């Protein structure tokens, strides 16, 4: 059987629950987020994958999700590499604001553009394009080679950092990637070809 790359967005965070822009703010998981991480671990356990390496961001919500999954898997001795290049998109001046309050301040259309356009950053923050320019060189230099060498790799990160990875490996256009939504705590198992493009993907729904 071919080796796999598993991508998982962290479980629900405190600011996800409050409908706030989180970005680089280091918030914890909610009780539901902890449950989602445990469930993700159980779903992966049923797949009988023995991981060789794990990657995560410098933010607690992704690290904690990974830790919980590895505890469920009985693989707590796994090498884990943390790097801020896998951090969530930086929302700049929107960080900490409730999304409804932001709409009242700047208008529905402007907030929608900041959230869903590919290359328009919010004030003081990053666009998805900017996030991809940070994430993809790291993915291509540090993560993908481990997979291509035959290792089973798990990446626990964030909606937008993972969106940037998926854009590359699934060859999704910049127009279409902005409408891709990743659920919290749902593992996606990828099998890639020798060039790092998707041969098969399996989403483990709760």
The domain limits of the chain are 5-203
Per-residue pLDDT of the chain (206 residues; tens, 9 = 90+): 689 999 999 999 999 999 999 999 999 999 999 999 999 999 999 999 999 999 999 999 999 999 999 999 999 999 999 999 999 999 999 999 999 999 999 999 999 999 989 999 999 999 999 999 999 999 999 999 999 999 999 999 999 999 999 999 999 999 999 889 999 999 999 999 999 999 999 999 87
Q: What is the pLDDT of residue 1?
A: 67
Position 5 scores a pLDDT of 98
10 included as an active-site residue: yes
Q: Which of 10, 36, 126, 158 is catalytic?
A: 10
Active-site position among 36, 42, 82, 88: 88
| 57 closest CA partner among 87, 22, 24 | 87
CATH of 5-203, one of 3.40.50.1240, 3.90.550.10, 1.10.340.30, 3.30.70.60: 3.40.50.1240
Contacts for 38 with CB less than 8 Å, ≥ 6 apart: 68, 69, 72
- Give residue-wise pLDDT tens across range 64-107: 999 999 999 999 999 999 999 999 999 999 999 999 999 999 99
Catalytic residue list contains 88: yes
Q: Which residue is it, tokens 């690290």? A: 63
Q: What is the pLDDT of residue 16?
A: 94
- Please say whether the beta carbons of 159 and 55 come within 8 A: no
Strand-pairing partners, residue 149, are none
């Amino acid at each position: 059987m071919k080796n796999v790359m598993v991508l998982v967005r962290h479980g629900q965070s405190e600011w996800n629950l409050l409908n706030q822009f989180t970005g680089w703010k280091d918030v914890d998981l909610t009780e539901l987020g902890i449950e989602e991480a445990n469930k993700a671990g159980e779903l992966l356990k049923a797949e009988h994958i023995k991981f060789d390496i794990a990657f995560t961001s410098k933010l607690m919500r992704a690290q904690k999700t990974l830790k919980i999954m590895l505890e469920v898997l009985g693989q707590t001795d796994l090498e884990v590499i943390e790097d801020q290049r896998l951090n969530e998109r930086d929302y700049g001046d929107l960080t900490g604001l409730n999304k409804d309050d932001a709409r009242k301040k700047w208008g529905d259309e402007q907030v929608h553009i900041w959230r869903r356009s590919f290359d328009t950053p919010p004030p003081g923050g990053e666009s998805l394009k900017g996030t991809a320019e940070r994430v993809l060189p790291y993915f291509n230099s540090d993560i993908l080679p481990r997979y291509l060498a035959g290792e089973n790799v798990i990446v626990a990160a964030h909606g937008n950092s993972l969106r940037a990875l998926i854009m590359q490996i699934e060859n999704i256009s910049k127009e279409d990637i902005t409408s891709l939504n990743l659920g919290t705590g749902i593992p996606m198992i990828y099998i890639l070809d020798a060039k790092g493009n998707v041969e098969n993907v399996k989403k483990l729904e709760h």
